[in-house]
Amino acid sequence: MGTGKKAKRCSKQIGDEQVSSIGRGLCVLLGISVEDTPRDMEYMVRKILNIRLFEDENGRAWSRSVMDRELEVLCISQFTLQCYLKGNKPDFHSAMPAELAQPFYTSMLEQMRSAYRAELIKDGQFGAYMQVHIQNDGPVTIELESPTGPMDSKQLAKQEKQQQRKEKTRPKPPSESGREKAAARQRVDPSASSGAEGDVSSEREP
C-alpha cells in the first residue's frame, strides 16, 4: 500500500543533514504489508511510474505520468501506513518486519530504476527517524492499494459474514403454504368468523 503525492519539491532530513531531495515529481510513501509479494511490487512499480497526475504540453490535466514528463520520484518507506487501531492505540502488526521489508523495499527501488531512469529515482535511509518536507502540488494525493491475494480473500470472507448477518435480521417473506392459508382464511364465510354454528366446509360441499 502506498500514497503518491504530486509535489513541487520534496526532501528528507536526518537531523540537520539533508539526505535526499527532488524537484517536481512524485513523493511516494510506501507501507509494506506482511502479505505483500513480488506480484504486488510489480503492480506498484507500474502504477507509480504510469499514473497520470500531470498536465500535458497544452495544459490539459490528468494526462501525463512522471515517465512522460521525465520527472523525479522520491520514495519513503513508511510502515505506519499499515496501522490499524485497537481502541485509540495504533497497532502495526500488519506491517512487514524490518528485516524482511528492507530487502523488499530495495528490490522495489531497483525495479523502478530499471523501468525508468535510475538517476530520477531517489531514496533516503531505510528505517531512520527523519523529517520529510513535502510541497504538495494541488494538493493531489492518491492512495494506491496493491491487489494482494490473501487480503482479498479475507475481505471477501468478511463481506460474506456481513451478508449472512443481514439475511438473518431481514424479515422473511411468507412461504407459499402461508400464502395459501391466508387466501383460504379470506375465502371463509363471514358467519364462520363471527362464531356462527355450523360446519362451513360441509355446507360448501356439493
Q: Count Cβ atoms below 10 Å from residue 67 Cβ, excluding itself.
A: 16
Residue 111 pLDDT > 70, yes or no? yes
Closest CA to 30 of 87, 95, 100: 95
List, for residues 77-91, the tens digit of each pLDDT value. Answer: 999 999 989 999 999
Mean pLDDT of 150-167: 58
37 classed as catalytic: no
Residue 190 pLDDT > 60, yes or no? no
CA gap 4, 51 in Å, rounded: 9
Amino acid at 50: N
Q: Read off the pLDDT band of 151 (50, 70, 90).
A: very low
- Supply the pLDDT for residue 196: 42
Q: Read off the pLDDT band of 186 (50, 70, 90).
A: low
Domains contained in the chain, CATH given? 3-143 (3.50.80.10)
- Supply the pLDDT for residue 156: 53
Buried b (16+ CB within 10 A) or exposed e, 138-163: eeeeeeeebebeebeeeeeeeeeeee
Question: Which set of grid coordinates corresponds to residue 42?
Answer: 510489480
Q: Read off the pLDDT band of 6 (50, 70, 90).
A: confident
Closest CA to 31 of 73, 84, 70, 69: 84
User: Helix, strand, or coil here: 166?
Assistant: helix
Most confident segment among 4-8, 39-43, 157-161: 39-43
Q: Which is higher by pLDDT, 194 or 146?
A: 146
Q: Read off the pLDDT band of 155 (50, 70, 90).
A: low
Q: Read off the pLDDT band of 179 (50, 70, 90).
A: low
Q: Which is higher by pLDDT, 201 or 113?
A: 113
Torsion from C-alpha of 40, 41, 43, 47, nearest 10 degrees = 130
Mean pLDDT of 58-62: 94
Single out the catalytic residue among 80, 141, 148, 169: 80
- Give CA 140 to chain center in angstroms: 17
| Range in 57-71, 125-139, 180-194 with the lowest mean pLDDT | 180-194
- Supply the pLDDT for residue 83: 92
CA gap 197, 38 in Å, rounded: 83
